């Protein structure tokens, strides 16, 4: 007979397992007994009530006795289990606890995500660019960009593809690219600045260019995500070319009169939908203070409202464009267009706009195939 047989257990680990299983059986029996007593007590209460002898004192007495018995039983069972636990079997009980917790957890339910798609512009007959299709944008997407969008602003030359540099791309972790374009002390900052500077000095196809690219800040969320998932404030950069190319025409919004007559822009995204931009205000900021741009999400609704109010106040103080019809809503999300300003050294002109998701093509009262496959599986969309 083996010296580790069930009649002569000397292996400590085997001993732990045996005791663990024994205790588990005891726990199961205790739980069944406890459940049985609870059922019995409930039946007793129902019987008393059905006979017309129900009163609060009797029920409370039954309940009190039952609870006392259960407490004594639990204490006794815990004492027995504790007395049999060996000191070196902690791992087995830890595993059992984890297993029990796992069993109690319900399978996570998939919440239905609702996206409100504004159809009003489409219904009014707005002439969207029918050439900017999802297929067209997806075919434009380059290896270092996580998405391709398209921005167009009526009455200007702004009508360009928009790249979104992906900081996880091998392009921006390349030592040569980091050496040529990256700045900062830590590697994350170097990759971020390498992505930004690369887009500022290379065109959409990756060729050296003084015009660079129109691009979304690398640390923003993709615009083809559901509206609830995109950043509170998406930053889009472009050069201010003397020819007026790229974001050269943004300086027009330094004039309040011009801004009042031109409050709208459109962004197409590769999920097949788009965003309408309602321009709010324009202001000049220091190019050395990135905090003024507030990339990403705000810490609170108060911070978001403060940012917008301060932006509008500064725009008024500078005599820039301010949309007096705009009213803040806590659900608002924004686009900030940024370009150089040549009034003084190292300044930026910044145009802030509110965005909302819109229908830009046929059959978009509901989700189209691109949205279903890539963004909102098992979801629905409602038009307004």
Please tell me whether residues 231 and 374 are part of one structural domain: yes
DSSP string, 94-124: HHHHHHHHHHHSPPPP-PPPEEEEB-HHHHT
Among candidate residues 80, 104, 128, the one where a domain is terminated: 104
Long-range pairs for 198-206: beta carbons < 8 A, 24 or more residues apart: 198/144, 198/165, 198/171, 198/172, 199/163, 199/165, 199/237, 200/237, 200/239, 204/140, 204/142, 204/161, 204/163, 205/142, 206/142, 206/144
Please tell me whether residues 49 and 164 are part of one structural domain: no
Residue 347 sits in a domain of what CATH number?
2.40.260.10
Please tell me whether residues 237 and 261 are part of one structural domain: yes
Q: Residue 276: what are its φ and ψ, rounded to 5°?
A: -90, 135
> What's the confidence (pLDDT) of residue 72?
63
CA 295 to each of CA 37, 174, 218: distance values in angstroms, whole numbers, following the listed order = 60, 25, 10
Residue 193 lies in a domain: yes
What is the pTM (predicted TM-score) of this model? 0.67
Residue 109 lies in a domain: no
Handedness of CA 99, 103, 104, 109 (dihedral sign): positive
Residue 110 lies in a domain: no
Please tell me whether residues 154 and 17 are part of one structural domain: no
Tokens coding 112: 């239905």
pLDDT in tens, 80-122: 544 544 444 343 334 444 444 444 444 433 333 457 789 999 9
Distance of alpha carbon 116 from alpha carbon 356, whole angstroms: 9
> What's the confidence (pLDDT) of residue 24?
57
- Where in the sequence is the domain holding 85, given as residue range(s)? 12-104
Residue 279 lies in a domain: yes
Tokens 């009980």 belong to which residue? 93
What count of other Cβ atoms lies within 10 Å of the Cβ of residue 36? 10
Residue 249 lies in a domain: yes
**Local structure of 338: helix, strand or coil:** strand
Residue 141 lies in a domain: yes
Q: What is the dihedral of CA 262, 267, 268, 269, to 10 degrees?
A: -170
Among candidate residues 76, 104, 132, the one where a domain is terminated: 104
Q: Identify which of 256, 282, 258 has the alpha carbon closest to the alpha carbon of residue 341.
A: 282
Number of structural domains, the chain? 2
Residue 205 lies in a domain: yes
Among candidate residues 104, 126, 157, the one where a domain is terminated: 104
Please tell me whether residues 165 and 39 are part of one structural domain: no
Please tell me whether residues 52 and 149 are part of one structural domain: no
Residue 135 lies in a domain: yes
Please tell me whether residues 181 and 314 are part of one structural domain: yes
Tokens coding 12: 């400590």
**Local structure of 208: helix, strand or coil:** strand
In this structure, are residues 280 and 352 in contact, taking their beta carbons and an 8 Å threshold?
Answer: yes
Please tell me whether residues 91 and 210 are part of one structural domain: no
Distance of alpha carbon 298 from alpha carbon 292, whole angstroms: 12
| Positions in the chain whose pLDDT score sits under 70 | 1-114, 363-384
Distance of alpha carbon 49 from alpha carbon 70, whole angstroms: 23
Beta strand 380-383 with 114-117 is: parallel
Please tell me whether residues 220 and 93 are part of one structural domain: no
Please tell me whether residues 216 and 124 are part of one structural domain: yes
> What's the confidence (pLDDT) of residue 87?
42
> What's the confidence (pLDDT) of residue 331?
94
346: left (phi over 0), alpha (psi -120 to 50) or beta: left
Please tell me whether residues 126 and 70 are part of one structural domain: no
Please tell me whether residues 141 and 265 are part of one structural domain: yes
> What's the confidence (pLDDT) of residue 81?
47
> What's the confidence (pLDDT) of residue 204?
87
């Amino acid at each position: 007979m083996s010296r580790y047989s069930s009649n002569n257990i000397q292996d400590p680990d085997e001993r732990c397992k045996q005791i663990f299983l024994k205790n588990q059986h005891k726990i199961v029996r205790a739980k069944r007994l406890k459940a049985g007593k609870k059922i019995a007590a409930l039946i007793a209460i129902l019987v008393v009530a059905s006979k017309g002898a129900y009163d609060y004192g009797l029920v409370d007495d039954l309940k009190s006795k039952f609870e006392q018995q259960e407490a004594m039983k639990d204490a006794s069972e815990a004492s027995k289990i504790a007395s049999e636990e060996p000191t070196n079997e902690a791992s087995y009980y830890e595993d059992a606890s984890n297993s029990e917790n796992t069993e109690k957890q319900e399978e996570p339910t998939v919440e239905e995500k609702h996206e409100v798609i504004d159809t009003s512009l489409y219904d009014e007959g707005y002439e969207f660019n029918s050439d900017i299709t999802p297929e067209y944008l997806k075919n434009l997407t380059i290896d270092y960009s996580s998405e391709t969008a398209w921005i167009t602003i009526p009455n200007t030359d702004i009508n360009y593809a928009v790249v979104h540099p992906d900081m996880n791309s091998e392009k921006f972790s390349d030592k040569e690219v980091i050496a040529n374009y990256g700045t900062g002390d830590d590697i994350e900052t170097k990759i971020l600045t390498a992505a930004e500077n690369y887009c500022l000095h290379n065109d959409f196809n990756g060729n050296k260019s003084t015009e660079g690219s129109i691009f979304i800040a690398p640390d923003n969320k993709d615009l083809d995500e559901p509206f609830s998932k995109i950043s509170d404030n998406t930053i889009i950069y472009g050069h201010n070319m003397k020819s007026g190319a790229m974001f050269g025409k943004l300086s027009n919004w330094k004039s309040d009169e011009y801004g009042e007559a031109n409050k709208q822009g459109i962004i197409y995204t590769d999920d097949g939908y788009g965003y309408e931009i309602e321009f709010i205000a324009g202001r000049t900021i220091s190019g050395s203070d990135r905090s003024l741009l507030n990339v990403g999400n705000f810490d609170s609704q108060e911070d978001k409202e403060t940012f917008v109010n301060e932006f509008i106040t500064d725009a008024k103080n500078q005599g820039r464009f301010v949309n007096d019809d705009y009213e803040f809503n806590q659900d608002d999300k924004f686009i900030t267009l940024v370009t150089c300003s040549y009034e003084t050294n190292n300044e930026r002109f910044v145009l802030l706009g509110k965005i909302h998701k819109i229908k830009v093509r046929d059959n978009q009262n509901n989700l189209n195939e691109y949205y279903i496959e890539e963004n909102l599986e098992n979801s629905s969309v409602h038009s307004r």
